[in-house]
């Protein structure tokens, strides 16, 4: 269950965003656009983590119920070992879906945290006297390393594509801005980095698709078993029980896939929100529409968490 303090933070974050967006027309062009962008990404992180916590709880409950029903093969998957070179990590020879979800949830939280740190770095760049070019280069290097670690934690197939939250070209442009304080270089740095943000967003969306496939595979196995049980049963009560279980499984699966679709669409929309930053700096009256939509998507994710976990709380 998500603590009350976190839920209060969601409401507070919404108030902060509303105040920032309301003041965009009269605020100075720097660093105002970065504040609502940061608030939006923080809202997405809160909503995504909450939603995946509900998916984890539900898949864990299903797994334990199957183990309790006599599927002893399920026990082996609960035995965790330490991966090579990682004193804090864990792995399983045959990880059940809920452990895979836990690992994915951790990776996605770290991924979203890098996006929040990126927004904070942009605000520092846009504010005079907070960073010099060397300090920025060190910060960009650290964030690029954090993003690589987060993407690895998300899992999925390896890729030869560069993993970076700050591209090489954008890093050089931002360093030039910090030296010369030419506003045109700040705008060019944001545009030079659009490709890196689009690639990072695709990494997030790809990870969501992989998780959806894992959920679908589990559903296919379980629903097939229930359908066969209903068809093979000669007892109306047993057949009705299997059909009710199948209907309940369908309900859970539809809600889980709907939540994952909302999360996937959030990462698809991230590049548009990033383009709002340059547009907002160029024209202080720009409405930051995509950033506002991204914040609202984060709120929608939290609503889906409440929908997913509602039955569990009532039990």
Q: Which residue has the tokens 């992989």?
A: 210
Domain, as residue range, for 45? 4-314
> Is 158 or 215 the better-scoring residue by pLDDT?
215
Q: What is the pLDDT of residue 269?
A: 93
State the chain's maximal CA–CA distance in angstroms: 82
Written as one string, the DSSP assignment of 232-256 is H---HHHHHHHHHHHHHHHHHHHHH
Q: Mapping DSSP to helix (H, G, I), strand (E, B) and coil, where does residue 91 land?
A: strand
pLDDT-derived band of residue 302, with 50, 70 and 90 as boundaries? confident
Examine residue 26 and say whether the peptide bond preceding it is cis (omega within 30 degrees of 0).
no
Looking at the structure of the chain, the number of domains it has is: 1
Q: How is residue 13 written in tokens?
A: 């974050």
The answer to whether the beta carbons of residues 298 and 40 sit under 8 Å apart is yes
The answer to whether the beta carbons of residues 260 and 215 sit under 8 Å apart is yes
Q: Which residues of 8-24 are buried (b: 16+ CB within 10 A; e: fewer)?
A: ebbeebbebbeebbeeb
Q: What is the pLDDT of residue 26?
A: 34
Rounded to 5 degrees, what angle do the CA atoms 210, 214, 219 make?
145
Task: Tell me the backbone φ, ψ of residue 60, rounded to 5 degrees.
Answer: -65, -45
**pLDDT tens by residue, 262-298:** 999 999 999 999 999 989 888 877 878 999 999 999 8
142 has a pLDDT exceeding 60: yes
**pLDDT tens by residue, 22-78:** 433 333 344 568 888 999 999 999 999 988 888 888 788 877 877 776 666 666 667
């Amino acid at each position: 269950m998500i603590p009350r303090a976190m839920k209060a933070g969601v409401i507070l974050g919404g108030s902060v965003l509303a105040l920032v967006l309301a003041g965009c027309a009269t605020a100075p062009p720097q660093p105002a656009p970065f504040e609502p962008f940061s608030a939006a990404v923080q809202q997405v992180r809160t909503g995504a983590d909450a939603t995946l916590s509900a998916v984890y709880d539900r898949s864990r409950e299903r797994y334990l119920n199957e183990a309790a029903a006599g599927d002893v093969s399920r026990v082996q998957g609960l035995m965790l070992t330490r991966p090579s070179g990682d004193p804090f990590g864990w792995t399983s020879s045959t990880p059940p879906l809920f452990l895979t979800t836990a690992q994915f949830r951790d990776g996605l939280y770290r991924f979203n945290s890098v996006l929040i740190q990126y927004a904070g770095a942009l605000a520092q760049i846009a504010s005079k006297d907070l960073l010099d070019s060397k300090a920025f280069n060190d910060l960009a290097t650290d964030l690029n390393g954090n993003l690589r670690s987060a993407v690895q934690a998300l899992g999925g197939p390896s890729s030869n594509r560069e993993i970076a939250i700050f591209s090489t070209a954008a890093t050089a442009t931002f360093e030039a801005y910090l030296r010369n304080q030419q506003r045109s270089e700040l705008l060019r740095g944001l545009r030079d980095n659009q490709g890196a943000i689009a690639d990072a967003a695709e990494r997030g969306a790809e990870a969501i698709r992989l998780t959806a496939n894992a959920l679908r595979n589990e559903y296919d196995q379980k629903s097939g078993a229930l359908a066969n049980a209903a068809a093979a049963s000669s007892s109306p009560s047993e057949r009705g029980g299997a059909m009710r279980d199948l209907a309940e499984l369908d309900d859970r699966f539809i809600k889980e896939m709907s939540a994952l679709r909302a999360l996937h669409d959030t990462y698809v929309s991230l590049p548009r929100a990033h383009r709002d930053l340059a547009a907002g700096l160029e024209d202080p009256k720009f409405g930051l529409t995509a950033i506002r939509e991204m914040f609202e998507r984060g709120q929608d994710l939290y609503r889906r968490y409440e929908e997913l976990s509602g039955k569990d709380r009532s039990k």
